Chain A
Amino acid sequence: MTVAEAYYEVVRRALESNIRDGSLPGGTRLYVAALADRLGVSRSPVKRALDMLEADGLIRRDGAQGWLVGTEPANDSRPNLHLFQLDLPDSGSATLIKPGWERILQTVADEVTRCIPFGIWKISEAELCTHFSVSRTVTREVLTRMHERGLIAKNRASHWIAGPLSAQMLNEVHDLRRLMEPLALKRAAARLERAGLIEMRARIEAAIAQGGTPTPDELDAIEDDLHIDCVAPQPNQRLADALPELRLSMVVNRQFARHVARHQETALLSEHRLVLDHLIAGDADGAAAALAFHLDADHERTRERLKVLSIFGGPDDDVPPYLSQVV
């Protein structure tokens, strides 16, 4: 996975293309705050992007009145930038790009996941900010979401900690998860859209038809379908809060898929399909029972897979600078 492009660079590129194609015509007055609001991003990357565009000669500074596009005189003292039809990379969205946390979440999650079978790791918030050129706010959002996924936790000293994975920990979370997740699914069942369920089942059918060896990304999507999206509509907030950190087996499955040359997921796929079949038929109790069966079977697989992972001394790639091994 490539490191996410610096935030200001995305802003700069978007502005440059909109200036060059005339969407932001010569003489348009640009203020940092107004641009940040229009693009749905924070101010500092906008400021940095404007400095770069000025150095490139695409805009010029107009004293305390912000910047002006091109060399033309100002055509409006304070234009409403929301009236401009801009061509932005994430088409269909009102803002320039995904929120900062969303752009880097997967990268950070992947990098952390790659490390935890090999010990305990501390995550430095400051290094995370520097590494991705993002703000503390973005970093905290990323860490919160990773916490929700069960990837990281806070230790007694209030540091963010990832790993280690142990068979004992898998046993302990499995005990809880097999009680709670089927319950959540039962509560959610009536609120699930049939069309969405059929789509999920199609993804599984496709993976089975291709020999039961989905790519890591396909597997992630299939796991998220059942264990996150199907469960999400249940109304109990305490249940919702408890579930994410019980999904450790997803971490192992994901890591196994990335380390091991040939992995076979036919059993997992068939079990997922069985749960979805029950949901599509409107049988919430059957779905919950099928999910409990799947969780038990998956637990056995996960324990075996963790053992395979245990022979790897460390992640293949360089460890990112925001992670330091504690033990």
Chain B
Amino acid sequence: MALGSEKPRLRVITRGEFAVPQIRDQVQKDLGFAIEFLVLDSTQGLQQVVTQPESFDIYHQWHTSDLIWTARCIQGIDLNRLEAGPRIKAAALSRSGVGRAIHTIFDRLFVQEDGRLGEALTDTVAVLPALHGVDAFVWRPELAPALNPGEAESWGWLLDPRWAGHVGLIADPVLGTIEAALAAEVQLGKPFGDIGNLTIDEVDTIADFLIHKKKIGHFKGFWNSQEEAMRLMQRGSVTIQSLFSPAVSQLRATGMNLRVASPLEGCRGWHSDMCISAATEGDALDAAYAYLDWYHNGWAGACLSRQGYYFIFPEVVRPHLTPEEWDYWYEGQPAARPLPGPDGTVTIPEGHRREGGSYRERMSSVRVWNTFMDEHTHVNRRWREFLSA
């Protein structure tokens, strides 16, 4: 059967990092039907999800679940139809997961009787949790300015005059504002109330500071994709910036000496979840549930663990990893041998130890989660002003 010629039974909107080629091939082989993957990692993608639920079946998203549930462009997921259902409920009940990660994920997961989301257990969830992780900035030790003896890594470095002219920044307003806030808090010496939900005044303070910094040449570049981020560092001009873990692995594979920071102030956490379109029904709905079951069987989680992501249920992933992989990615042990990324090429040299430690230690460092803030319109407007300043 030529999968390519068959009309797809399922349309999946996802980010590139969540549907690497190995996963796309394996899921279609295992499920036996064609799946169309649409990589839409922009706000336009989110607009399509909100306005045209009939244009997709599965949406694998991050930090938009409350927003898309408000818009009712997704339907509740029946835990009784999922193999992972009992596991989700058990984890939500015991809150036994890792640090603050699991807690936040379950806070607004279950569809309550009044249609709102809450933590009280029901048979229906708005989204199915999939992956999570922490991001921080990276820096190149041999190109760093002189640091004070014993100086701890700090988000403040991103806006520190000592790094002027060598700083890269993510161009996305949601993630960029959070990182800028973490940095500005240090540099301006005054704490913000809630970094994950800044007020208009706080956003203005940060934006004004960023614009000033931009005018005096503090930033070397801005990136929209991992590829752009990697190029900025490969050219050698950017020596400090935030970076997603797949890009860290890929740059390391080229031999670049990179330090992933474990900042004093904590990390920016993220989690991804899968949703089913409100318009999906019939065969496509069956296919959607099959896809969710497949994604939760451990294979995909193991595949993406090799680029530094954590799967919501590590014990499901473990049988699909070698003991050396498990020890490196989840236990924080030095790599007992060279370890491959998702595509099989070696990205981790023997003896390397992941910064930040084990799964538990790293997820416990979450200071703030990726999120659309209440004042997102204002955040967006000031961020655009900053980018074009």
Q: CB within 8 Å of B: which residues of A? A: 117-119, 164-168, 259-264, 266-267, 301, 303-313, 327
Residues of B within 8 A of A259 (CB): 50-51
Contact A262 B381 (CB under 8 A): no
Of the listed stretches B89-97, B253-261, B370-378, name the one at the interface; the rest are far from the partner chain: B370-378
CB distance from A230 to the nearest CB of B (A): 25
CB distance from B170 to the nearest CB of A (A): 18
Residues of B within 8 A of A309 (CB): 377
Residues of B within 8 A of A267 (CB): 114-115
Docked Cα-Cα span, A118 to B68, in Å, equals: 19
Docked Cα-Cα span, A165 to B374, in Å, equals: 11
Contact B73 A166 (CB under 8 A): no
Also in contact, A260 and B51, with CB within 8 A (given A168-B200, A307-B372)? yes
Residues of B within 8 A of A313 (CB): 43
Docked Cα-Cα span, A310 to B375, in Å, equals: 8
CB distance from A293 to the nearest CB of B (A): 13
Contact A263 B200 (CB under 8 A): no
Residues of A within 8 A of B71 (CB): 260-263, 308
Contact A260 B50 (CB under 8 A): yes
Closest to A213 in B: B72
Docked Cα-Cα span, A310 to B114, in Å, equals: 25
Contact A164 B377 (CB under 8 A): yes
Docked Cα-Cα span, A312 to B47, in Å, equals: 7
CB distance from B171 to the nearest CB of A (A): 15
Pick the most buried of B46, B73, B378: most chain A CB atoms within 10 A of its CB: B378
The 8 closest A-B pairs by CB, nearest first: A310-B376, A167-B374, A310-B377, A304-B70, A260-B71, A262-B72, A308-B71, A311-B46
Docked Cα-Cα span, A301 to B67, in Å, equals: 11
Residues of B within 8 A of A304 (CB): 66-67, 70
Can you name 14 A-B residue pairings with CB atoms under 8 Å?
A164-B377, A164-B381, A166-B200, A260-B50, A260-B71, A261-B50, A306-B374, A307-B67, A307-B372, A308-B67, A310-B377, A311-B47, A311-B67, A311-B376
Contact B70 A307 (CB under 8 A): yes
CB distance from B385 to the nearest CB of A (A): 8
Docked Cα-Cα span, A304 to B72, in Å, equals: 12
Residues of A within 8 A of B114 (CB): 267
Docked Cα-Cα span, A166 to B376, in Å, equals: 9
User: B53 at interface (Cβ–Cβ under 8 A)?
Assistant: yes
Residues of B within 8 A of A266 (CB): 115
Within 8 A of A (CB), among B349-389: 372, 374-378, 380-381, 385
A261 touches which of B52, B66, B374, B377 (Cβ 8 Å): B52
Closest to A316 in B: B51
CB distance from A254 to the nearest CB of B (A): 15
User: B199 at interface (Cβ–Cβ under 8 A)?
Assistant: yes
Contact B53 A262 (CB under 8 A): yes
CB distance from A167 to the nearest CB of B (A): 4
User: B278 at interface (Cβ–Cβ under 8 A)?
Assistant: yes
A166 touches which of B46, B47, B72, B375 (Cβ 8 Å): B375
* Cross-chain pair count, CB within 8 angstroms: 77
CB distance from B27 to the nearest CB of A (A): 28
Q: A262-B73, A303-B374 are in contact. List 13 more A-B contacts (CB 8 A).
A: A117-B377, A164-B378, A166-B377, A166-B378, A168-B199, A168-B375, A261-B71, A262-B278, A263-B71, A267-B115, A307-B372, A311-B372, A311-B376
Residues of A within 8 A of B68 (CB): 308
Residues of A within 8 A of B199 (CB): 168
Docked Cα-Cα span, A40 to B277, in Å, equals: 54
Residues of B within 8 A of A312 (CB): 47
Within 8 A of A (CB), among B46-67: 46-47, 50-53, 66-67
Closest to B199 in A: A168
CB distance from B277 to the nearest CB of A (A): 10
Residues of A within 8 A of B72 (CB): 260, 262-264
CB distance from B118 to the nearest CB of A (A): 13
Closest to A301 in B: B70
CB distance from A279 to the nearest CB of B (A): 24
Contact A261 B115 (CB under 8 A): no
Residues of B within 8 A of A264 (CB): 72, 115
Closest to A171 in B: B374
Residues of A within 8 A of B375 (CB): 166-168
Contact B200 A260 (CB under 8 A): no
Residues of A within 8 A of B73 (CB): 260-262
Residues of A within 8 A of B374 (CB): 167, 303, 306-307
Docked Cα-Cα span, A327 to B204, in Å, equals: 13
Closest to B68 in A: A308
Docked Cα-Cα span, A304 to B378, in Å, equals: 15
CB distance from A59 to the nearest CB of B (A): 51
CB distance from A267 to the nearest CB of B (A): 7
Docked Cα-Cα span, A166 to B50, in Å, equals: 20
Docked Cα-Cα span, A300 to B115, in Å, equals: 13
Contact B70 A308 (CB under 8 A): yes
Within 8 A of A (CB), among B29-48: 43, 46-47
Docked Cα-Cα span, A313 to B48, in Å, equals: 13
Contact B50 A308 (CB under 8 A): yes
Docked Cα-Cα span, A320 to B278, in Å, equals: 33
CB distance from B382 to the nearest CB of A (A): 9
CB distance from A157 to the nearest CB of B (A): 20
CB distance from A185 to the nearest CB of B (A): 24
Contact A327 B67 (CB under 8 A): no
Residues of B within 8 A of A165 (CB): 377
Within 8 A of A (CB), among B154-210: 199-200
Residues of A within 8 A of B376 (CB): 307, 310-311
Residues of B within 8 A of A167 (CB): 374-375
Docked Cα-Cα span, A307 to B50, in Å, equals: 12
Residues of B within 8 A of A168 (CB): 199-200, 375
Docked Cα-Cα span, A327 to B382, in Å, equals: 9
Docked Cα-Cα span, A39 to B352, in Å, equals: 88
Docked Cα-Cα span, A18 to B74, in Å, equals: 56
